[in-house]
Amino acid sequence: MNRPILQSIQVGKPQSYGSEDATDAHDKPWTSGFFKAPVEGKIFAGRANLEGDGQADLKHHGGVDKAVLAYSADHYRYWRRDLDRFDLPFGAFAENLTIAGLDENSVHIGDVYSIGDCVFEVSQPRQPCWKLARRWRMNELVPMVIANGWSGWYLRVLEVGYIEPQMPVTLIERINPDWPISRANRIMNHHRQDLDLTLRLAAVPRLAFSWVKQLNERAEALGALVSAGMA
């Protein structure tokens, strides 16, 4: 297997788009940091984000558990073909880091990777939201990502420093070999009524707090249904 490489880096600050008098729902006003531009040369990765990057919806995005979004460069040739968008650029899924040689099957919750001066830790899968559909004017795109599991994954920044495109991505620790991103996605999105799997995922070490909270709330609701004889 070829060594994973940081193929591209993208950043972008929140901006407002659309107009009040638009007739197409895609053109109505919205604010997002989804639009990312490629970076050439070195860029600083801090605890909360990359230099020059930001999020509009801080309730659902950003923070130390979701400081940096990574996505597999290997998916792009399939997306370009399936969407008939052969100009689809790296950063199309709002990722900061586009990495060749890694994907949701090979990346695990809690994995620790080094890139340049930095050390990153995988915290959770990315959950695609409506802004992905809005960005590309394709309402079907979010269900497609949920179906194929090509979500990308979030990273904590354990050690800050500088990174740049074409740097190697090196795995330095794996504590959850049974918990790839793909498995976490399947449980979150496709096994919503399975109490045992829900509890197992919630207990995975280093899983982001927001996921643990969401899963425990689901488990509580499922447990109540079981107690009531409804499940």
- Mention every residue, 6+ apart, whose C-beta is less than 8 A from residue 38: 8, 9, 10, 89, 90, 91
190: part of which helix (H) or strand (E)? Answer: helix 181-190
Closest CA to 210 of 126, 88, 112: 126
Please give the Cα distance from 195 to 217 (Å, whole number).
11
Tokens for 76, please give them: 């792009």
Residue 38, SS3 per DSSP: strand
pLDDT tens column, 110-155: 999 999 999 999 999 999 988 998 889 899 999 999 999 999 999 9
Measured between its terminal Cα atoms, the distance across the chain in Å is: 45
What domains, with CATH codes, occur in the chain?
A: 5-176 (2.40.33.20)
Confidence of residue 17 (pLDDT cuts 50, 70, 90): confident
Closest CA to 207 of 183, 172, 223: 183
Residue 146, SS3 per DSSP: helix
pLDDT tens column, 83-101: 999 999 999 999 999 999 9
Please give the Cα distance from 189 to 127 (Å, whole number).
9
pLDDT tens column, 40-51: 999 999 999 999
Percent pLDDT > 90 in the chain is 78
- Mention every residue, 6+ apart, whose C-beta is less than 8 A from residue 116: 42, 161, 162, 163, 164, 167
> Contact at 8 Å (CB) between 55 and 43?
no
Residue 56 has pLDDT above 70, yes or no: no
Instruction: Compute the Cα dihedral for 81, 83, 88, 90 and give only its sign.
Output: negative
